[in-house]
Chain A
Amino acid sequence: MTGPTSGTRPDEIRRHNRTALLRRLHVDGPSTRASLAAELGLNRSTIKALVDGLAEAGVVAERVPALRSGAGRPSLLVLPQPQAAVVIAIDVRVEHVAMGFVGLGGEILGRDSWNLHRTRDPGEVITHIVESARLMADDLDADAVGVGVSVPGVVRRADGHVHEAPNLHWTDVALGKRLEAVLKLPVQVGNDAELGALAEHVRGAAQASSDMVYISADVGVGGGVILSGQPLRGTGGYVGELGHMVVNPRGNRCYCGCDGCWETEVGEPALCRALGLPDDAPRGTVVAALRALDDPSVLDEFAGWLALGLANIVNVLGPELVVLGDLYTALPDAVVDSVSTAVQRRSLVSRAVGGTQVVTSPLGRDAKLVGAAELAFEPVLETL
């Protein structure tokens, strides 16, 4: 937390403290006034003034904690009110779209999802999103204040323009602008793996890690990177195509034009083949096959490629934690352990930092939805 600099006007200081307090409640949930004061380094009267203001605006509520510790007057518990700020989170995947209304504090208040089997036409996807948003808004009696969208492709952050989303067969879709025009709300679009990383950082396995990489497979493979607590973004925001790191020059041709991209060895179709399933088996079928696996050695080659790519990534980026997401969360523990061990053995950076941890995401299939919600909340917390 950076403190306000000297010369800042009092209302700016109050604004800054209010946002810090809201962010703390949004991310970590209900807290007592006492612990908020301690963690934010503010005195109790400042906290009282802030909380009173937020309570008056209906953003938080206060109540006496159920479990009292020690004697004396208990510190009041401050609870974020989900309905006080609701955002729309949208996760466009290759085979499905998932959507949620997410309240302050991160609770998913309502959900919808649908197959993209028959059409992936951007216009139809947008129409369906808008219909679902209206339905959910009526049902929940909630006015959303922002929208976050996750897309498996190359996205320009400034305006949510999707340059290329190969698995969706999208090129140059002005998704951000088009959604803003119909939803009449601020819309932010991000790359799916980048938002997965954000979700893990805020609510998942990487809450305590400021240097982490999130790798996920949903048909293709992508990666999101957080270094020194900040998302790594290249020019215009185009970073994260870790799946197109070439690992096997004698490997299969990838749609991006290269041969032997990492994705061709560790993507969903490759995993399907290792399991003896058709390349396009439904997600549940792949998960069920992984659960029922008698002989994990059929995944040896797959795990070898996974470890090789991860060792490269760890050497280049030096994270303390690698989170495997989406489809990878269904990998048997033994496979994840063997990959983790192989990465520690092969990567000199991993050895130097005493062993980079490789874990699976606790958010599973929802990581990108959660990340999209957090993307939408970022500006909201500053103005609430």
Chain B
Amino acid sequence: MSEPILELRGINKSFGPVHVLHDIDLVVNPGEVTALVGDNGAGKSTLVKCIAGIHPTDSGEVLFNGQPVQIRGPRDAADLGIEVVYQDLALADNLDIVQNMFLGRERTKAGLLDETDMEQAARKTLASLSVRTVKSVRTQVSSLSGGQRQTVAIAKAVLWNSKVVLLDEPTAALGVAQTRQVLDLVRRLAEQGLGVVLISHNMNDVFEVADRIACLYLGRMAAVVSSKEVTHGQVVELITAGRSGDLGIARPEAATI
């Protein structure tokens, strides 16, 4: 039986007087795509930033591989094997692909960067994903298309042998075909055994790629459902009303911020 790779228990987070996340429980299983959905302001990005160590949580527990962990910053998250891909600020524009893939963790040989090694590893990683990217891994990121940039950002997770990848609206700025391409890559990452959390507002995309759907409503986890067992309509209801039939929060009207 496979254990969850990442587990959140009772996470709370406030910004000053604003209570944004209420007692969030969430399990991320290896090999599954878990979609995280919710209306604007529901708390999706905040939750991802709490996991990534960008925001400290007020209370609650994070378990990685069954062990309680403290994630105090992006470095801690990366060390555990958690990679985060954001909508836009995923890469540094003024650097090339290799530099981006190694940013903050340059390989060193006797204290110096080993450029040849890094270049080879970057090239090998991109080839292993068999996606068409660019002619040279020395291309400046600023000259890549949106889809290529997200591919490079996601490839970092493979290069660093990450266990969990969190993607916060990775396709929001992309056209339809590029979106499909990135989602296909996301699906293939999961099929290699990684735990994937994908934030998206597009229900079609969610159903086409996700195994499970976690629905946030006003900062509360309304329900986590199997994408095989629910309809679009049910998920939309969970997002907009916190409840759909037997699913969801018992008294959503009592849920206030």
Contact = CB atoms under 8 A, between A and B. Distances in A.
A115 B209 contact: yes
B30 A292 contact: yes
A274 to B, nearest CB: 12
Interface stretch (B56-64, B69-77, B104-112, B186-194): B186-194
B180 interface: yes
Contact of B207 (A109, A115, A291): A115
A282 B31 contact: yes
A288 interface: yes
B257 interface: no
A366 interface: yes
Contacts, number: 98
Contact of B192 (A110, A113, A276, A287): A287
B254 interface: no
Contacts of A287: 31, 191-193
A282 B184 contact: no
Given A287-B192, A288-B31, A292-B30, A136 B177 contact: yes
Interface residues of A, number: 35
A111 interface: yes
Contacts of B209: 114-115
Interface residues of B, number: 35
Contacts of B183: 113
Interface in B1-44: 1-2, 5, 29-33
A282 B131 contact: no
B2 A132 contact: no
Contacts of B210: 115
Interface in B82-101: none
Nearest to B65: A292
Interface of A: 96, 98, 107-115, 117-118, 132, 135-136, 138-140, 275-277, 282-289, 291-292, 330, 365-366
Contacts of B33: 284
A117 B227 contact: yes
B233 interface: no
A95 to B, nearest CB: 9
Interface string B105-146: 000000000000000000000000011100000000000000
A117 B228 contact: yes
A284 B181 contact: no
16 contacts: A110-B181, A111-B180, A111-B185, A112-B180, A113-B184, A115-B210, A117-B207, A135-B176, A138-B177, A277-B1, A282-B190, A284-B190, A285-B2, A285-B31, A287-B31, A292-B30
Nearest to A293: B2
Given A112-B180, A115-B208, A135-B180, A283 B132 contact: no
B227 A366 contact: no
B191 A283 contact: yes
A107 B176 contact: no
A120 B11 CA distance: 39
A112 B227 contact: no
Contacts of A136: 177, 180
A113 B176 CA distance: 13
Contacts of A96: 187
A112 B183 CA distance: 8
A135 B177 contact: yes
